Amino acid sequence: MARIDESRPFLPVRIAVLTVSDTRGLANDTSGQALADRIVAAGHVLADRAISKDDAGAIETRLRGWIADPAIDVVVTTGGTGITGRDVTPEAFDRVLEKRIEGFGELFRMLSYAKIGTSTMQSRALGGVAGGTYLFALPGSTGAVKDAWDDILVFQLDNRHRPCNLVELMPRLQEHLTPA
C-alpha cells in the first residue's frame, strides 16, 4: 500500500490549470476552482490559471506556452474530454505530447467506475509528458476533478509518496536531449 514518507521534505510543484469550456468564466468555473483550491491546499504553487474555448488550436497554443515556461512543472486541464463534437481536449493533447502516461486514464476510469458505473467509459481522461512538463486532461465535472486530484494526483505529485511518484522523475524527463 502507498504511503507518505514524513521523513522527507515536501517539494512544492508549480501547476497551471486550464478550464476548457465555451460557457464558463472564472466566476462560474466550479471545477477549475475546486482544482485550484486543492493544489494550494496540498502546498503546491498555482502557477497560472486560464479558460479556453473548446477549440483544439486554442488549447494547443495554451499548452505549448505553458510547456515552454520553465516556471510551470505540471498542467492540468478540466473539460473537453467527452465524446461529443465539441470535446477536443484529447486531440489538442495529441498535438503536443511526447509520451502518454497510459496508466493515468486507466486508473481514473477504474476509480470513477466505483462512483458512476459504466458512464465512466465516456471519459477520455489522459496524462502525458511534453518538454519535461506533465500534462493531465480531466473531465469537466467538479466531482471528476475532485476524484482525479484526491485519489491520484495529490499522491503522484508529492515527492514523499512511496514507493514512487512523478516528482522524483522530473529531472529525468528530458534525458533524451542530453548527449551521451
| 56-69 pLDDT tens trace | 999 999 999 999 99
Whether residue 24 contacts residue 32, with contact meaning beta carbons closer than 8 Å, is answered with yes
Give residue 178's pLDDT: 65
Asked if the structure places residue 125 within a domain, the reply is yes
Asked if the structure places residue 21 within a domain, the reply is yes
Lookup: cell for 13: 510543484
pLDDT above 90 (res 179): no
State the residue range of the domain holding 21: 11-167
Asked if the structure places residue 105 within a domain, the reply is yes
pTM exceeds 0.85 for this model: yes
Asked if the structure places residue 172 within a domain, the reply is no
Of all residues in the chain, the percent with pLDDT exceeding 70 is: 97
Give residue 180's pLDDT: 60
74-120 confidence digits (pLDDT tens) = 999 999 999 999 999 999 999 999 999 999 999 999 999 999 999 99
Give residue 67's pLDDT: 98
The three-point CA angle 18-21-23 to 5° equals 135
Of all residues in the chain, the percent with pLDDT exceeding 90 is: 92
Asked if the structure places residue 88 within a domain, the reply is yes
Asked if the structure places residue 135 within a domain, the reply is yes
Average pLDDT for 10-20: 98
Confidence band for 176, pLDDT divided at 50, 70 and 90: confident
* Rg of the chain over all Cα atoms, to the nearest angstrom: 16
129-145 confidence digits (pLDDT tens) = 999 999 999 999 999 99
The three-point CA angle 72-73-79 to 5° equals 85
Domain count, the chain: 1
Q: What is the CATH number of the domain that holds 48?
A: 3.40.980.10
pLDDT above 80 (res 2): no
Asked if the structure places residue 65 within a domain, the reply is yes
Asked if the structure places residue 137 within a domain, the reply is yes
Query: What are 130's strand-pairing partners?
Result: 133
